[in-house]
Amino acid sequence: MPPDYAGERCRFKLNSQNSVLKNSLSKDQIAAAALCALPKIGPKRLMTLLKHHDPQTAWAVVQGRSKPDEVVSAMLRVEGLVTLLRHRATQDLQDQIERRCIKAGIKITIFGDENYPRALVADLAPPAVLFYFGDLSALNSRRVGMVGTRSATASGRYLASHIAHDLAINDVCVVSGLARGIDAWAHRGALRALESRAIERGAGRLADRPVGRLAVRAAGRPVGVVASGLDVVYPRENAQLWQDIARHGALVSESAPGSPPDAFRFPLRNRILAALSEVLVVVESRDTGGSMITVDEAQKRDVTVLAVPGSPRNIASNGTNQLIQQGCLPIIGAQDVLVALGLDNRRAQENIYDPRVRLSTSDQNLVSMMIGSPFTLDDFVIRSCLATIDAAVSLGRLEALGWVVENSGWWEVIEVRQPLH
């Protein structure tokens, strides 16, 4: 379990019509959901169970009320699994999972269902059961996965948001893991694209829009793939982002409701993220960690991996620079991603999107005089004619606002990229 998860579960509810939702959950869905909550039943064993038995029969098998076929019987004999499952597979557990789904408004799709994501059907290790909020048809668009470090720099946050925004404007679905850092900023950029299109069409801000009522095909709708149960928000500061993704795209997980963000769930989540991606973009990453696990999963599936190059002095770019050394294509903007998707003839039709706070005239002048090449504090003092202490304060303010970035004593302006045309 991540160290900053204090055991407190932040929950939200998207559907208050419990009686309506209860009728929409079939007995098979409830049984499949309960199977997901059992210990020692990982994705492979669950898929084996559901390939050889329907969900209700599979639940009866683990309870010892029904006889399994030979394959399932052999699987359950290992590690004392039969005794453990019979002890845990209680009616109370099934009722508890059903109540959680109803309370939170969680929907369920099972491998083989009509609405099960097509992108996962032929995957190497498809999840047998998916829990979701929102509309899975968001995955019917072209899809780009975006991942990166949780400790993103100002430059990384800006690039993630900017690239995701331009992709969404081109009707591309941005898929990410809703973690801190790059994931969250990619989703914010995609949501901003939806909002800007809605405002253009007189529909108002996202917060004022009913669930699922954005302008049809206005822009690519974002999809979040999370490791915990959908009623356990992690990290908690992203609760509003979870709400927005669930309302205007889709939020999916293979973990049963109530499941905490245990460490073992994240690599499993990463394989789903990779499987849903036609192209995977790594914005900033160290040379180990979740982003690189996602890259490995993508490469197993022949998914094109693109990497944003960074300063050799920036530890947050060690992984992306290493990927480029190993042969991954470097990118500097959404246009390069569209080329990789074969959509290079499609262009964003609006002004540059810049999520940063607009600068005062004096700060604009300071930034303008430093554009072009890296500079030191002494360079900045000379060009700006400011006292050293005032120059240092100005650079600190501009860095906090995302307009400059510092690496080992050298400063550089983060320039606004040109619009796609």
375 contacts: CB under 8 Å, gap ≥ 6: 383, 410, 411, 412
pLDDT of residue 350: 43
Distance CA 386, CA 406 (A): 19
pLDDT of residue 370: 83
pLDDT of residue 84: 87
User: What is the enclosing helix (H) or strand (E) of 234?
Assistant: none
Q: Is 218 helix (H, G, I), strand (E, B) or coil?
A: coil
Domain with CATH 3.40.50.450 in the chain: 136-341
Distance CA 62, CA 55 (A): 11
pLDDT of residue 48: 94
Tokens of 135: 């509309």
pLDDT block averages, 10 residues each, the chain of length 421: 45 43 77 95 94 95 92 85 90 95 95 95 95 95 96 92 94 95 96 82 55 52 97 94 95 97 96 97 93 96 95 90 94 92 59 69 86 86 91 90 85 64 33
Burial 113-124 (b: 16+ CB within 10 A, else e): eeebbebbeebe
pLDDT of residue 205: 55
Domain with CATH 1.10.10.10 in the chain: 361-413
For the CA atoms of 127, 130, 136, 138, the dihedral, rounded to the nearest 10 degrees, stands at -50
Strand (E) positions, 31-76?
none
Tokens of 69: 């076929």
pLDDT of residue 207: 53
Q: What CATH number should be reported for the domain whose range is 361-413?
A: 1.10.10.10
The CATH label, of 3.40.50.300, 3.40.50.620, 3.40.50.150, 3.40.50.450, for the domain at 136-341 is: 3.40.50.450
Tell me whether strands 107-110 and 129-134 are parallel, antiparallel or unpaired.
antiparallel
Tell me, what amino acid is at 214? L
Q: What are 133's strand-pairing partners?
A: 251
Distance CA 150, CA 37 (A): 28
Distance CA 207, CA 34 (A): 34
pLDDT of residue 174: 97
Q: Phi-psi bin for 129: left (phi > 0), alpha (psi -120 to 50), beta?
A: beta
Query: Cα 399 to chain center, whole Å?
Result: 26
Q: What are 107's strand-pairing partners?
A: 132
Distance CA 346, CA 218 (A): 15
pLDDT of residue 414: 83
pLDDT of residue 202: 62
**What is the secondary structure of 282-347 as a DSSP string?**
E-S--SSSHHHHHHHHHHHTT-EEEE----TT-GGGHHHHHHHHTTPEE-SSHHHHHHHHT-TT--
Q: Could you tell me the pTM of the whole model?
A: 0.77
Contact by Cβ (8 Å): 28, 110:
yes
Residue with tokens 């989540």: 269
pLDDT of residue 77: 84
Distance CA 278, CA 268 (A): 18
